[in-house]
Chain A
């Protein structure tokens, strides 16, 4: 699928996942990452332009992101993702239904082009740490985005304090959420530092901590 949309509760780790997916995909062809977060000016993909450009990933960011003219407007070049030969595209949506609203306008073209919409969940994220909360939020996001999710990515972690046991303990929550929403659990993530040199367990993908604090 050429277009992957990444949605979820704000703070569940969407941007870190999007950066990881884009960098990984860039090893085998042209990739564009669209930062569709026009709700919050902190910790969004646009802040990591240097990492992306360094790996040859194209970045489409909100118009005038990070300037005084930073307004909730979508960049016109966003439509280039539907052009032939656009390569692999990841869309990092803003958090919650508010952030997913920007997808609504793109929904006819996304439906026409075909898309994969992954719903990112995190067992340790306050207010979306139960299957019930995740299912309710998914419904709000799908309504705002006018798109249906196609799979779940279990991105359960506790920031820099994540240990292997946290990741494994969250599996039951992820499976229950998948069952409740009727969506397939595509995979779970594990931060590379929590692996301590071991290979990720079956059904897990290692992700780097790319969204960092200024002092790390």
Chain B
């Protein structure tokens, strides 16, 4: 049976059903319901909910739990993710999987508490110091928040790297009907690398990100980047909506894509050929889908709740073959379908 859930709660329940029993968090609007939900549910199922003394402590607890081989997660909103960036870098440097959820709010600094997508650069290019990437998934409905939590945990384990769900305050706070999977529907991979006790039966495993010998560190980073190439080849995801005959294609993810979809529907009612290409993975960026679309459309319009952080990725993906324009609102403002339609009509 479908149930009505708030996005934040759905993320929590989906994580539990993906086998996560270790949540470490710290409150911040607009993601607090996720932590609150976990605080109610985890004790009932023998899991661990821990409100740490800070975001940094919480992310380091995730690192520890993940090193021991269990599925672990943390969640926060924009300023809190900045604080967690150190731990995310350490996990990347230790080849540890983990799930980090960012329910974005307006920035920079303390910013605001209304929805935003201004952490795109942070998520896809610089979640911390050093040469590394993390997987970034961008749901656009509460149901997709549920589905992508399982996918993110699986992909993180598969590639031994942290994964992020990049949501926003609107998705976190809104209520939509969801169908939840049963726990254990998906098999989890073995983790022979985990530091969970060798019992005198094998060499001990070491989880570490400190390598003082530069050639050894270079080798490790280069190996990681070879893995990233495989990730790029296999994990890209995007949804196309009415793109086949579109003259102009809107590129938007998350809550913005809901607005964009309404604008596309309005345009189609008027007989205007407009489509939507919605990245579901932001890293790896769905380059293949965009390249394919660039062969047909005469222009792209990216729509974001930021000053235009995804525009250059779209331009690079299509080698600037057709113009890529931008429309967005920032600071917690949400574009309206009418505003988007007006911009898109200017490109037809």
Instruction: Please list the residues of chain A having a beta carbon within 8 angstroms of any beta carbon in chain B.
Output: 10-11, 40-43, 68, 122, 124-127, 129, 157-159, 161, 213-216
Contacts and interface: CB of A to CB of B under 8 A. Distances in A.
Contact of B170 (A125, A159, A214): A214
B174 A158 contact: no
Contacts of A11: 4-6, 175
Contacts of A68: 112
B177 interface: yes
B93 interface: no
Contact of A158 (B2, B6, B259, B334): B2
A125 B113 contact: no
B4 A126 contact: yes
B286 interface: no
Nearest to A96: B36
Contacts of A41: 29-30, 113-114
A31 B170 CA distance: 30
B337 interface: yes
9 contacts: A42-B169, A43-B174, A124-B2, A126-B13, A127-B40, A158-B2, A159-B176, A161-B2, A213-B174
Contact of A213 (B3, B40, B258): B258
B177 A42 contact: no
Nearest 6 CB-CB pairs, A to B? A42-B173, A126-B3, A158-B177, A214-B334, A215-B258, A215-B262
A129 B9 CA distance: 15
A68 B40 CA distance: 30
A125 B4 contact: yes
Contacts of B259: 214-215
Given A122-B4, A126-B3, A126-B4, A159 B13 contact: no
Interface in B256-296: 258-259, 261-262
Contacts of A214: 170, 255, 258-259, 334, 336
Nearest to B180: A126
Nearest to B256: A215
Nearest to B9: A126
A161 B175 contact: no
Contacts of A42: 30, 169, 173
A94 to B, nearest CB: 13
A216 B5 CA distance: 19
Contacts of B113: 41
Contacts of A213: 170, 174, 258
B3 A124 contact: yes
A124 B258 contact: no
Nearest to B176: A159
The winner among B1, B4, B114, B169 for most chain A CB atoms within 10 A is: B4
A68 B9 CA distance: 26
Interface centre among A43, A126, A158, by most B CB within 10 Å?
A126
Interface string B312-348: 0000000000000000000000101100000000000
Given A11-B6, A129-B3, A215-B258, A124 B177 contact: yes
A12 to B, nearest CB: 8
A158 B4 contact: yes
A41 B31 CA distance: 12
Nearest to A42: B173
Contacts of A159: 4, 175-177
Interface in B126-185: 169-170, 173-177
A43 B169 CA distance: 11
